[in-house]
Each structure stands twice: as structure tokens, then as C-alpha cells.
Structure 1
Amino acid sequence: MITIGNLAGFAVACAVGGSARFLVTRLVAQRGQATFPLPTLIVNLSGAFLAGLFYTGVAGDAARLLLLIGFCGCYTTVSTFALETVRLARLGAPQSAALNVGLSLFGSLLAVVLGMNLGQALP
């Protein structure tokens, strides 16, 4: 059942996830790697890890939905990944574009597995 409280909790989870994405992106970008979309990769990998962790039942069902759909949904995004990959290819850096696809895809799959394993190992 959808309630005002559920929607408010979802809005807060989205705000926290979006804010966390902004902060992580800024912190990683300050390290100065303009030729590769490292901030997006870090956000996607850490978001995949958190999704795996939250999915395993670290929280109750209602909290899990807020964490997965609200926080993780606003923290990670495929649209930025896709845009940056196409931009790299159009800028004449097909190797960087392919590296971004490979690291993001396989790194995210591995991060989900690691997050799930940790979630299952926690009491």
C-alpha cells in the first residue's frame, strides 16, 4: 500500500542517493582524470555493491525497497554511463569507450556478488 509516509521515505532516500552521487563524483573528479569517466565508474561499482548488500536482506522488506529503489536508483545511473561511452567513441577514443563498457559491466556484476556475499555473511 502506498502511503504519504512511504512516499516521503522514498523522497528522502532519493535525495540522499542523489546527494551521495554528487559528492562521490566531485571527490573522484578532483583527483584529475579527465580522459576517462572514472567518477561514473566508481559510482556504478559502489552502487552495484550496495544493491547486492541491500538485496540480501540486511534490512527489512520496506527498508530494502527504499534502499534499492530510492537510494541506489538515485545514486547510480546508466544514462551517464551510456552518454560518456558514446562521447569517448565520438572523440576518437574507442579503446577508452570499450574499457568503460567492460569495467562497468563486469565490475558491477562482481560488485553485486561481493555485496550479496557480505550481506549474507552479516548476522
Structure 2
Amino acid sequence: MFTCLDSLNGHVEKVGVNRPATPCDEPWEELRKRQDDFVDQMPQVLVIGGGQAGLEVAARLKHLDVPTLVIERSARVGDSWRKRYDSLCLHDTVWYDHPPYMPFPSPWPVYPLRENLPISWKLTQRRSN
């Protein structure tokens, strides 16, 4: 089964000519903290699960300017992959499985290993208090 959101009325993807054209005077870390804390707007979407699919959905919604909160039951984003089999690899090719806005590097194997996946890369995470 495959589900694909083709468009979302009232939300234009922020790529190409639709990129923000004004400079941001706020330091990047402060801007990200404001976004993470939902200071300026409350989340409109809740994504349950910070694995590959959850992060891909959140990335797409971010580029559509839809405030999204991702919750994950594990201690870290991507733990569902990190804690699986040592020999885990994707069963689909890199051409099919690359995440939005982050294509897999060209030298990667056709069937990436768990350690190759973006959710295994260092991610900035929000720590719960």
C-alpha cells in the first residue's frame, strides 16, 4: 500500500521560487528553539513515531508550513532502527527510499544498511524536562 499527499489547500511548498526571500536576523539556534517550543504557533498535526516514515512526513509538512509535532516513545529519534538487527538493511533501493530534501549520497550501496540511514545521522533533538 502506498499513500501520497499530492497537495494541501492553502499550503505552498517552500522550495524554488517559493523560498522565503527575506533574510532572518535571528540566530539559527534561537529560531529552531522557538519553532521547537511552538512559541509563535501551536502544532496543527501530531505525528506519532520518529522513525523514517514519521520524520519524512514531518519534513514534508515543514516545507508546506504546517506546524507539526513529532512524538517518539524511545529515548532518541531513530531508536526503532538502532535497536533492530545488526544486519538490518533496506529491502528497497536508494532510488525509492531516499527521504525528502535529503537524497542519499551517490556512493552509497543500492540497499543501504541501517547505519547509512538519515535517522542514524546526528540529529538535533529536543530533550524532555
Instruction: Tell me the TM-score range normalised by the shorter chain.
Output: under 0.3
Q: State the TM-score, normalizing by the size of structure 2.
A: 0.25
Higher relative CO (Cα under 8 Å, sequence separation at least 6) belongs to: 1
If the length of structure 1 is used for normalisation, what is the TM-score?
Answer: 0.26
Structure with greater proportional strand content: 2
